[in-house]
Amino acid sequence: MIDYHIHPNYSSDARGTIDEFCQSALKNGLKEICFTTHLDSDLTRDDAYVMVDDKKVDVQSNDWLVHYESSVRQADETYRKQGLRVKLGIEVDYYPGIRENLPDQFFDTDFDVILGSVHLFDHHAISVEKESHKVFQKYTLSQLGERYYGYLINCVDTELFDILAHIDLYRRYGEQYYGKEIFNIWKPHIEQLSDAMRTKKVAFEVNTSSWRKNLTDPMPTGSLIKSLIARGIDIITIGSDAHYPEMIGNGIQRVLTYLQEIGVETVSTYEKRTPQKIPIESLIQQQEK
């Protein structure tokens, strides 16, 4: 089993050390994980920092990335002897003008995976319930879709990212505000988005955290997954978006079955930003042993 979206306690909203996550991964039967700590660099917000040894560090500092890379690589060396591979990733929250706010060390870090995601509208996070309502009150449903998918397309065009994370994140709190029509706002934008992803060789993840929020589908929904695949975007990773060690691997078995049922045959792992497809059936059989 694999889990390619994990936040250790470098992320300000996460708890648990890299070691604690690795031990939980072993306990839960995972064979490969990827740490993807947040890099939130919008300097107008109060969360533009990371945690190192329980101390706040400016996200633009180079030192924390050196510390993070060293810690993850050491974990891989330690835990691969016990049957667990540990990969180095990061989740970067995209917004217009992001490149100039990234630390210099970002471009020199030897990542296995770089996730790109969109959380922010006008500096408000749609992933946070109270903040999301400020966004939803401002935008009609069609405006929300145009703005969100416009950001995603721009995110792809930066050529900074390997994978788009939870590409219908607006559903987390948007469904209760807008209703079921929110499931369809991607449709006018799918052609332009998939063209950009195919040109730039950007993949997408299927994220299980929506199930922890009692939503019916993972992110993205099955219809959006099938539409992307039909347009040639067939490199897919899976991740729990774990922010605590006990969350690691949450929903992974379920999402593999879900993907099989809608006709997906493979998911991918990464090494040095290069994907490797794995048959879903082999992962399911591995877990059943």
Could you read off the pLDDT of 144-157 as tens digits, one per residue? 999 999 999 999 99
- Paired with 55 in beta bridges are 52
Burial, 134: exposed, middle or buried (Cβ in 10 Å; 0-12, 13-18, 19+)?
middle
pLDDT (0 to 100) of residue 94? 96
pLDDT (0 to 100) of residue 285? 79
Which segments within the chain are labelled E, that is strand? 2-6, 32-39, 49-52, 55-58, 85-93, 113-117, 120-121, 124-125, 163-164, 203-207, 236-239, 266-271, 274-279
Per-residue pLDDT at 289 exceeds 70: no
Mean pLDDT rounded to a whole number for the chain: 95
What is the average pLDDT across 131-143?
95
Residues listed for the chain: 289
pLDDT (0 to 100) of residue 46? 87
**All domains of the chain, ordered by start, with CATH?**
2-288 (3.20.20.140)
- Name residue 51's amino acid: M
- Give the tens place of pLDDT for each residue, 244-287: 999 999 999 999 999 999 999 999 999 999 999 999 998 987 76
Query: How many CA atoms within 13 Å lie on the side-chain side of 241?
Result: 19
Percent of the chain clearing pLDDT 90 (strictly above): 93
pLDDT (0 to 100) of residue 67? 97
pTM value is: 0.95
- Give the tens place of pLDDT for each residue, 51-69: 999 899 999 999 999 999 9
